[in-house]
Amino acid sequence: LIEDAELISQQVLADGQRVIHLKSPRIAAQAKAGSFVHLTCSNAHPMRRPLSIQRVDRAQGLIEVLYKIVGLGTHALSERKVGETLSCMGPIGNGFSIDLTHTRPLLIGGGVGIPPMIFLSDEMKQLASLTPFVILGSEIPFPFNARPSTIVVPGIPSDVIAAHPLLEDWNIPSRLTSLKGFAGCYEGYVTQLASIWLKSLSDAERAKVIIYSCGPTPMLKAVAQLAEAFKLPAQVSLEEFMACAVGGCAGCVVKINTENGPKMQRVCVDGPVFEASRVMWTE
């Protein structure tokens, strides 16, 4: 589905990060956590760019996207003005499938992999049977104003208190990690804090955990290893270079160990979310 979306807002954050809102009612109606849009950033750059959907406001027909300026496309997007129209294809991809049998989901997001974790938290907050815990990492200032958590998380060091404000409002516990020494954050990787938390659980509680994750490939690989070490199921959202995003060009393939053996699968339409234990990592 392609929709001409009006740019409603463009908020400037630290280190080239931006949050935009697009009026895109049909995409907002169908999006789910883990799905993304393929955006034409400007007429001068006809190749679309894939960006995850962070939140939707179905009543207003809005989608929210968090992006980081890295190259030509995202730079062109940062120069678009409120009121302009962007061609928006989406929602694309098989998002996360919430497993109701594992009632203690652990969500791990890194960098521009944070947005799908916010969308997933939003979906989970409607499900009273689940008690999610969210760990987010960044090596540049976080794209939100972190605040000290008022929700105690047993097993987490007591000086690690920085949390995502929106998740706090939703009563979902979260903790932040960084190697950059930001106040209240765990100094280390998301997977290290996750490991501390998992070790603190009893065997019975740990058996209720499933991991959902999105972030840079080295982080996802570490998450897959963590899941394997603790014998936990995990779903990871992969990032690949994309041209068509409709399954036609095979530009985005990854090797997946399917039930019928190793197969090349397309991140855009077969993913972007895959079972971590099935991904055959190359990096």
Ligand X SMILES: Cc1cc2nc3c(=O)[nH]c(=O)nc-3n(C[C@H](O)[C@H](O)[C@H](O)COP(=O)(O)OP(=O)(O)OC[C@H]3O[C@@H](n4cnc5c(N)ncnc54)[C@H](O)[C@@H]3O)c2cc1C
User: Footprint of ligand FES on this chain (CB under 6 A)?
Assistant: 242-245, 247-252, 266, 268
Nearer to ligand X, 1 or 47 (CB): 47
Helix, strand, coil shares, percent, the chain, to 5: 25, 35, 40
Give the per-residue contact string, 19-48, with ligand X (x = CB under 6 A; - = no): -----------------x----------x-
CB of 129 to ligand X, least distance (A): 28
The answer to whether 270 contacts ligand X (rule: CB under 6 A) is: no
- Using CB under 6 A, which of 33, 51, 88, 185 touches ligand X? 51
- Please count the other Cβ atoms lying within 10 Å of the Cβ belonging to residue 260: 6
Contact between 132 and 105 (Cβ < 8 Å): yes
Contact between 139 and 163 (Cβ < 8 Å): no
Give me 10's structure tokens: 């463009």
CB of 248 to ligand FES, least distance (A): 5
Site for ligand X in 227-246 (CB under 6 A): 239-242
Helix residue ranges, H only, 79-163:
114-124
- Please count the other Cβ atoms lying within 10 Å of the Cβ belonging to residue 240: 15
Give me 236's structure tokens: 């990871």
Counted residue by residue, the chain has a size of 283
Residue 49 interacts with which of ligand FES, ligand X, none, CB < 5 to 8 Å by class: ligand X
Residue 68 interacts with which of ligand X, ligand FES, none, CB < 5 to 8 Å by class: ligand X
Contact between 203 and 181 (Cβ < 8 Å): no
CB of 16 to ligand X, least distance (A): 9
Residue 22 interacts with which of ligand FES, ligand X, none, CB < 5 to 8 Å by class: none
- Using CB under 6 A, which of 95, 115, 132, 137 touches ligand X? 115
Give me 20's structure tokens: 């935009």
Q: 1 CB contacts (<8 Å, ≥6 apart)? A: 26, 27, 30, 89, 90, 91
Residue 213 interacts with which of ligand X, ligand FES, none, CB < 5 to 8 Å by class: none
Nearer to ligand X, 35 or 177 (CB): 35
CB of 45 to ligand X, least distance (A): 7
Nearer to ligand FES, 122 or 240 (CB): 240
Residue type present at position 158: S
Q: What is the C-alpha to C-alpha distance for residues 36 and 192, in angstroms, rounded to an integer? A: 28
Q: 191 CB contacts (<8 Å, ≥6 apart)? A: 108, 219, 222, 223, 225, 226
Nearer to ligand FES, 18 or 49 (CB): 49
Nearer to ligand FES, 70 or 183 (CB): 70
Residues that bind ligand X (CB under 6 A): 36, 47, 49-52, 66-68, 70-74, 112, 115, 239-242, 272
